[in-house]
Structure 1
Amino acid sequence: MTLQINPFILVDGTASDAITFYQEALGAELLFKQTVGEGPQNPDSPMTDQEKARIAHSVLLVGETKFFVADQEVGQPLSYGNAITICITADTADEAQQLYDSLKAGGTVDIELAPAYFSPAFGMVTDKYGVCFQIFTKRAQ
């Protein structure tokens, strides 16, 4: 059996902005994007142009990892928390610093990026979309 696990980031009406943010902050490549309006429509429940513009699904690629970003369905609540974080492993402390600085823009610092006993540079930020990232740097072998 082959399994694949991909992070799926849900936001409330800001997925287009989040996609652009991750393209800039992480160098993400946009592989696919579909709006709600591009999907099947229910003629009994017409949508506004704003609802049609929401992102139904997108696929981004960072390194070898695909992750998804979409807008939550209208009327469905989102619940934020740090029970699940996305860990990004960088080869060097300089790369880690660049990622850390990019992701913290508009967000909050949870743990300052600094050397730790297990990593030359480790830190945590919650970005402006409420997603918690751990930035980890590999030790030199």
Structure 2
Amino acid sequence: MSVRLIPYLVMNGNAAEAIEFYQKALNAQLLFSQSFDEMPENPEFPLPEEAKKRISHATMQVGETEVMLSDTFPGQPHQSGNQVTICISTDNPQNSREMFEELSNDGVVTMPLQETFFSPAYGSVTDKFGVNFQIYTKGQN
């Protein structure tokens, strides 16, 4: 079983600018970047124009550490101070479910753990201490 904790920065429409900044300031190497308009289309939820160029997900390497980041979707609340989450990356869906359930006890589920186009088990939760976690399971759907 593999488990990693990864800092995850949530930006308010300026993730592309942040990527460039961290590349220069921290010598970060961009490993992956995808905008919302590069994601698979969902006819039930058409993509608004103002969302298309925002970053849906990016991964950078800073030294020996990965840092992930994305933009909020237009209209989602964003407040300085809560834009950093911890992404728990696992390679086991059952382990992801167990951690998600434990973190959910007396916490608030912000996205139920579910299969997505990028993960067999992904969800987000704020634990009872106010810490924001994303649970990401590696693997193909």
TM-score (norm 1): 0.53
Structure 1 residues not aligned, in runs of 5+: 86-141
SS in 2 for 1:78: coil
- Identity rate, percent: 43
Q: Which residue number corresponds to residue 8 of structure 2?
A: 8
Pair 1:2–1:44, CA change in 2 (3 A): closer
Most deviating of 36-45 and 21-30: 36-45
Q: Which residue number corresponds to residue 42 of structure 1?
A: 42
1:47 CA drift (Å): 2.5
Residue 15 of structure 1 aligns with an amino acid whose one-letter code is A
Residue 75 of structure 2 aligns with an amino acid whose one-letter code is G
Residue 61 of structure 1 aligns with an amino acid whose one-letter code is Q
Residue 39 of structure 2 aligns with an amino acid whose one-letter code is G
Structure 2 residues not aligned, in runs of 5+: 86-141
SS in 2 for 1:53: coil
SS in 2 for 1:4: strand
Residue 3 of structure 1 aligns with an amino acid whose one-letter code is V
Pair 1:64–1:45, CA change in 2 (3 A): same
SS in 1 for 2:68: strand
Q: Which residue number corresponds to residue 25 of structure 1?
A: 25
**Deviation string for 1:47-92 (max 9, x for gaps)?**
344311110000000110000111012211113228x79xxxxxxx
SS in 1 for 2:52: helix
- How do 1:1-141 residues align onto structure 2 when only pairs under 5 Å count? 1-81=1-81
Supply the distance in 1 between the matched residues of 2:48 and 2:81 (Cα, whole angstroms): 30
Bigger Rg over Cα: 1
Residue 62 of structure 2 aligns with an amino acid whose one-letter code is V
Supply the distance in 1 between the matched residues of 2:66 and 2:45 (Cα, whole angstroms): 33
Supply the distance in 1 between the matched residues of 2:60 and 2:44 (Cα, whole angstroms): 33
Supply the distance in 2 between the matched residues of 1:7 and 1:81 (Cα, whole angstroms): 14
TM-score (norm 2): 0.53
Moved over 4 A (4+): none
The alignment's C-alpha RMSD in Å is 2.1
